[in-house]
Amino acid sequence: MQPSQGGAGDRELMGRLAGGDREALAPLMERHYRRLYRIALSYLRQPDDALDVVQEVFVKAYQSASRWDGSAEAGPWLARITVNLAIDRWRRNRRRAQTFTPLAESDHVATLADLGPAPDRRVQGREAGERVAAALRALPERQRAVVVLRHYQDMSLEEIAGTLGMSLGTVKSSLHRALHRMRAGLAGEQP
């Protein structure tokens, strides 16, 4: 998990948003947009879709700020909206893919081409990314969300449970099943 960004700053900004102060949007976005982008991108694997999701998250945050529970942390609340919107987007894309030509694997290669951390690690990283992307895509929606929050956001099980509104037991079972499915997927087996 990244260093805590919650606390008074978020609460104050959310309070201002709830009062209709649009000036609070930019600082709130500055605090959270990278993290939310990575959640959406890890889930969807498409930068444009991930950006759209982040945009929707903050529009929704502005519209729902008055209903936000002031005692809650804004970070997990925003992460929850992000996961839900990413799942919605995933479903929409899947429906569209059923109507139109599905994306070829090479498209994902192109999308990931510029995301490597360093040029010398890019090829290796890309290959790992492609294999992981395929294994993640094969997971059920909620299992994938659990894996993304755990292994791409380094969240604890309790944080994942809070973010996704699941019990701790369900998070544990989901993570266990997801890892086994991914293992089978990466090994080219039927999960």
Return the SS3 of 173: helix
Footprint of other proteins on 6-25 (CB under 8 A):
22, 25
Pick one of 1, 12, 21, 59: the residue that binds other proteins (CB under 8 A): 59
68 binds other proteins (CB under 8 A): no
Torsion angle of alpha carbons 18, 24, 26, 27, nearest 10°?
Answer: -110
Nearest-angstrom CA–CA distance, 96 and 89: 10
DSSP state of 22: G
Neighbours of 75 (CB within 10 A): 21
123 binds other proteins (CB under 8 A): no
Pick one of 6, 15, 47, 191: the residue that binds other proteins (CB under 8 A): 47
Name which of 41 and 79 has its Cβ closer to other proteins. Answer: 41
Nearest-angstrom CA–CA distance, 111 and 146: 24
66 touches 15 (CB < 8 A): no
Nearest-angstrom CA–CA distance, 66 and 50: 25
Nearest-angstrom CA–CA distance, 109 and 130: 7
Q: Which stretch binds other proteins (CB under 8 A): 8-16, 68-76, 79-87, 173-181?
A: 173-181
Count of residues of this chain found to bind other proteins when the rule CB under 8 A is applied: 58
10 touches 75 (CB < 8 A): yes
Q: At closest approach, how far in Å is the CB of 86 from other proteins?
A: 13
Footprint of other proteins on 79-118 (CB under 8 A):
101, 107, 112, 115-117
Name which of 44 and 73 has its Cβ closer to other proteins. Answer: 44
List interacting residues with other proteins (CB under 8 A).
22, 25-26, 29-30, 33-34, 37-38, 41-42, 45-52, 54-56, 58-59, 62-63, 101, 107, 112, 115-117, 121-122, 124-126, 128-129, 131-132, 135, 147, 150-152, 156-157, 172-173, 175-176, 179-180, 182-183, 186-187
